[in-house]
Amino acid sequence: MGEVLVELTVNGQLREATVEPRLTLADFLRERCRLTGTHLGCEHGVCGACTVLVDGAAVRSCLVFAVQADGAEVTTIEGIGSPDGELSAIQSALRDCHGLQCGFCTPGFVVSVSAFLRDHPNPTDQEIREALSGNLCRCTGYQGIVKAVRQAADAGHRGEL
């Protein structure tokens, strides 16, 4: 079927490719851009491991076709923290609070939490848990993740990337 030319910015870099319409944004990022930090845990929009920012909004990249993201600005986990490895405040908080074990769900959480704190700087504990409910983790039991978000929010972090 007809391939389509797409142009989008990923982590500040312009990417151009000719793709099948059915190629998901997740696969575009992983395969065409070689940014494998975005993970596929379910491919049907429940687990959140594939979460990226599209024009600043946290979305499940497995539920977006690359062609739909033409012209968009996409931020993946590789665009969070500094290029020389300095962690963002959210990433540091997760590390401090033992908020990851296998790390497979982690990029999705980092992106989701960054967007959430940016938009909700003073969340209640309940609001934190509800905001996290769109990302699944099987290793941590969420204990360290909730603590990390609480810690980052209390320190006044607004999800800076």
d(CA 146, CA 141): 10
Query: Are β-strands 73-75 and 4-10 bridged in parallel, bridged antiparallel, or unpaired?
Result: parallel
| Min separation Cβ 43 and other proteins, Å | 4
Contact positions with other proteins (CB under 8 A) in 44-73: 44-49, 51, 54, 57-60, 62-65, 67-68
For the chain, helix, strand, coil in percent to 5 are 35, 15, 45
**Nearest to 91, CA basis, from 52, 148, 48:** 148
Of 122-151, binders to other proteins (CB under 8 A) are: 128-146
Closest distance of CB 79 from other proteins, Å: 9
74 lies in the binding site for other proteins (CB under 8 A): no
Closest approach of other proteins to the CB of residue 58, in Å: 5
Closest separation in Å from C-beta 8 to other proteins: 14
Identify whether the C-beta of residue 109 lies closer than 8 Å to the C-beta of residue 78.
no
Binding mask 14-43 for other proteins (x = CB under 8 A): ------xxxxx--x--x---xxxxxxxxxx
